[in-house]
Structure 1
Amino acid sequence: MNLPERWRAARPKVAGLHLDSGACSRQSFAVIDSAAQHARHEAEVGGYVAAEAAAPVLDAGRAAVAALTGIDASHVVFTTGSNHALDLLLSGWPGERTVACLPGEYGPNLAIMAANGFRVRALPVDGLGRLLVDDAAAMLSADPPALAHLTSLASHRGVVQPLAALAETCRALGIPLAVDAAQALGHMDCAVGADAVYSSSRKWMAGPRGVGVLAVRPALAERLRPRVPPPEWNLPLTVIERLQHGEANVAARVGFSVAIGEHLAAGPEQVRARLAEVGRMTREVLADVAGWRVVEPLEEPSAITTLEPVDGADPNAIRSWLIAEQGIVTTYAEVQRAPFEMTAPVLRVSPHVDITADELQRFAEALTAASSQA
C-alpha cells in the first residue's frame, strides 16, 4: 500500500469526511490502544508503577521529537499542549521581556505573552502575511528584542513561513528564536536550529488531545528560571526537571509517543511531500466554488486551505450545516485567532494524507450546496 492507503487503513473508518486535521487529526488504532493499555496498567499496578514501566516508550517519544526538532532528547519536555508549553517558556524568562513576532500571531499566544509581561513588536510581512526576511533582519539588528517568536504555519492561513531563514538571521544576531510548531510539526521541516520549539500532539501528528511538547536548547534552558518550584527554595532540580514539575496524563504521553514513532516510520519527507500535494489538490478543486475565495497560492506547500466568503456567507453557519447535513468536518476560524491581522472570519479546510480527489470533489459540491442555503 502507498502512504495514503496505509494511513487510512491504520485508523477507524471515518464517520463522514474529515477535513479538520489542523484542529485535531484522527488517531490510529495503535495510538488509541497504547493509551488505553497504559490506563489499564495503571488500574492493575498503580499509576506511578505504570509510569515507571512506560519510561522506555516516553524516552522513545522524546527521541522522536529530537529527530524532528534538532534539539537533544534530554531537553524535550512533555506538556499539556502548545499554550502550556509557551507559558512554561515565557514565565521563566530572565531579564527584559520584549518579543518580535508576526502581525498575524495566534491570539492565544499573544494572550500568554501579555500575561507574562512581554511587549510585542511586529515583524515585517508581505500581503499574504509572510515574513520579509531581509526587512526583519534589518529591524532585529537595529533594535534587538529579548526574543523572536515565529508561528511557522498559522492557524488561520496556510502560508508557510521562512523558518530556516529567520533561524539563520537570529543566530547571526544572537537573538533566541522560539517556534510555535503546533501546525508545523509533522507538516514541515522544524529542525532548522531554533532555540525552542513547541507543539501539540493532536494536529498533524495525529496523537491524543491534552498533550504537547516543549524542546529547549541547553544554552537557553540554563538561562530560564521556572517559577515552580520557587527558585529561592534551592531544590536540587535541573531546569528541565523543574519544567516537568506537576501532574501528568501519562497515557496521553504514551499515545503521543506512539504517534510520533508512526510519523517517523512513515517518513517525514514523504509525509511533507504528500501534504503539499494535498494542499494543491484542495485548492485546485475549490478555486471555482462560487461565493468563496481561496487565500493561499496554488503551490503553497501546506495542506491548509483558507476560504474567505465573498458573498456574505457566514463561515460558522456553513461549518454547522456541513456537519449536520453532510457529516463533513471543517474549521470555523474566528477573528480572535489572529486579532491583529484578521478582519473577518474564514472557513479552513485541512485534510490529511489520506484524502482522495473524489472526496475533495464531494466537499466542493457540499460547500456549493451549503452556500445556497445561506
Structure 2
Amino acid sequence: MIDLHAVRRDTPACYRQVFLDSAGSSLPPVGVLDEVIGHLHREAEIGGYRAANERLDDLEAGYGVFAELLGCEPDEVAFTDSATRSWLSAFDAVPLAEGDRVLVTEAEYHSNAIALLRRAADTGATVEPVPSDSVGALDVQALREMLDERVKLVSLVHVPTNGGLVNPVLEVAAAAHEVGALVLLDACQSIGQLPVRADELGVDIISGTGRKWLRGPRGTGMLVVRRAALERLHPRMVDAGTWHAPDKISLRDDARVFELWETGVAERLGLIAAARYALRLGVDAIASAVTDRADRLRAGLSGVDGVTVRDLGERRCGIVTFTVDGVDAEHVRDTLVSKGITVTVSRRGSTVLDMTRRGLHEVVRASPHYFVDDEQLDACVAEVAALRS
C-alpha cells in the first residue's frame, strides 16, 4: 500500500493544487529534482564531460534498474530523449517492402500514425486498423482473422492518450507471433502506472517516456528490444558503433545500438532516480492506488447531470476522460485551472481512428496519480458540477 503522506511530502507542489495531468507531464519527486539540478550544478563547476565521467557507474547501473522495472535483461534496454524517439527508432528498423502489412489499433497515436503512413507510402506496405470489440478494446478474434504471413508488425498502443482503456497485450502478442510478426508496444501511457514487463507480456519491443506516470524529467525515454527481435531489425539512424578503417564499421550488438552518444546526463540520472522511486513503492501498489483514484473520479463525474465519462474498455487505468454538455473542453479545462485544478484536453487529431469512430472532437482528460488525495478528487467533481449549474 502506498504511504500517501510520504509521497505527498515528496511532492510539495501537490499541496498547492489539484494536479490531474500525470498522463501529460507529472510532478517529479523531490529526489528526482535534486538529482537533475545537482548534476547541472556539477556541470557548471567542472564541465559536462568530467561531470559525466564522475557518474559513469550510476549511468551504467541504470540499465539494470530499467531491466528490473520492465522485465528484461540490461542489454535489452536503451535510453533516448523521448517515447517518440524510442518508437520511431525501433519502427524505422523494422524491414518493410511492397505487399507487407502493418496492423494497428484504433487507439493508434498521431505521431506513430504519421510515421506509419509515410513509410507505407514509401515502401508499398499497407497500414490496417484492427477493429475494436464491443467495449472498445482491440478485438483479438478480429486480429486473428486479419493475420497472415505478410503481417510484419503489430503496432499496439497499451493505453491510449484519450482514455482509460487498457488493451489486451498478452493475447495480441501470442496471436501475432503465430505468423512471425513483431509486436511493438507503445507503453507511453502505461509505464509508471501499470506493470509493464516484457517477460510477462511477450512483446518484442517496448517504447516509453519518463515524464508521465514514471514522474521523471522531460526529454527522457526508454526502449526495450528483446535479443531475438534485434536480430531481425536493421537500425539506420545510428552512431553507436566503431569506425575501424576508412571503409569499415561495426555496430553495437545490443539494444544500445539505438542510442545516440550525445544525451542529457542530468535528465538521464533523474530518469534513473524516478525508476528507483517507483520500484521502492512497488509497481503493483502504484497500479492499485492509481486505479482507485481514477475509479473514484469516474464515479463522481458520472453522478453529475450533463457529464459523460468517455472511457472505454472493461479494464481501465488512471486516465479519466469526460465531456460536459454545452461546454467545450477548453472552457472546462481553463475554468478548472482557474480553481487550482490541472487537467488537459485530448483532441481528435491525437487519435483520429478512435475519435472519428465515436464521433468525438475533444474530451477533457484528468489523470490522478497516487499523490492525489480523495478530498482533491472530490473538489474536481464539485467544480465540474458547478460548471453545469
Relative to the length of structure 1, the TM-score reads 0.92
Contact 1:199–1:212 under 8 Å retained in 2: yes
Point out the more displaced range, 267-276 or 257-266: 267-276
Query: Which of residues 351, 355, 365 is equivalent to 2:382?
Result: 365
Unaligned runs of 5+ in 1: none
TM-superposed deviation, 1:272: 1.0
Relative to the length of structure 2, the TM-score reads 0.89
Partner of 1:272: 287
What are the within-5 Å matches in structure 2 for residues 280-359 of structure 1?
Answer: 280-296=295-311, 300-309=315-324, 311-323=325-337, 325-342=338-355, 343-359=360-376
Pair 1:51 & 2:52 matched: yes
What are the within-5 Å matches in structure 2 for residues 1-374 of structure 1?
Answer: 2-14=2-14, 15-96=16-97, 98-117=101-120, 119-140=126-147, 142=148, 144-191=150-197, 192-229=201-238, 234-239=248-253, 240-296=255-311, 300-309=315-324, 311-323=325-337, 325-342=338-355, 343-372=360-389
Write the deviation string for residues 60-93 of structure 1: whole angstroms up to 9, x where unpaired.
3322222232222112111111111111112222
CA distance in 1, matches of 2:43, 2:251: 27
**Letter paired with 1:106:** Y
TM-superposed deviation, 1:367: 1.3
Write the deviation string for residues 158-187 of structure 1: whole angstroms up to 9, x where unpaired.
111111221222233321101000111122
CA distance in 1, matches of 2:269, 2:221: 11
Distance 1:175 1:2, change over 3 A: closer
Write the deviation string for residues 294-334 of structure 1: whole angstroms up to 9, x where unpaired.
1236974411111023x2310012101211x2011101001
Point out the more displaced range, 190-199 or 119-128: 119-128
Point out the more displaced range, 352-361 or 54-63: 54-63
**Letter paired with 1:46:** G
Distance 1:130 1:27, change over 3 A: same
Point out the more displaced range, 159-168 or 240-249: 240-249
Contact 1:307–1:346 under 8 Å retained in 2: yes
Contact 1:228–1:242 under 8 Å retained in 2: no
Write the deviation string for residues 260-313 of structure 1: whole angstroms up to 9, x where unpaired.
00000101111111112112111111111222111236974411111023x231
Distance 1:57 1:136, change over 3 A: same
CA distance in 1, matches of 2:344, 2:247: 46
CA distance in 2, matches of 1:270, 1:153: 19
TM-superposed deviation, 1:48: 1.9
CA distance in 2, matches of 1:290, 1:368: 8
Write the deviation string for residues 118-138 of structure 1: whole angstroms up to 9, x where unpaired.
631111212442011122123
CA distance in 1, matches of 2:374, 2:260: 46
CA distance in 2, matches of 1:233, 1:84: 28
Residue 204 of structure 1 aligns to a residue in which SS? coil
Distance 1:299 1:219, change over 3 A: closer
TM-superposed deviation, 1:247: 2.2
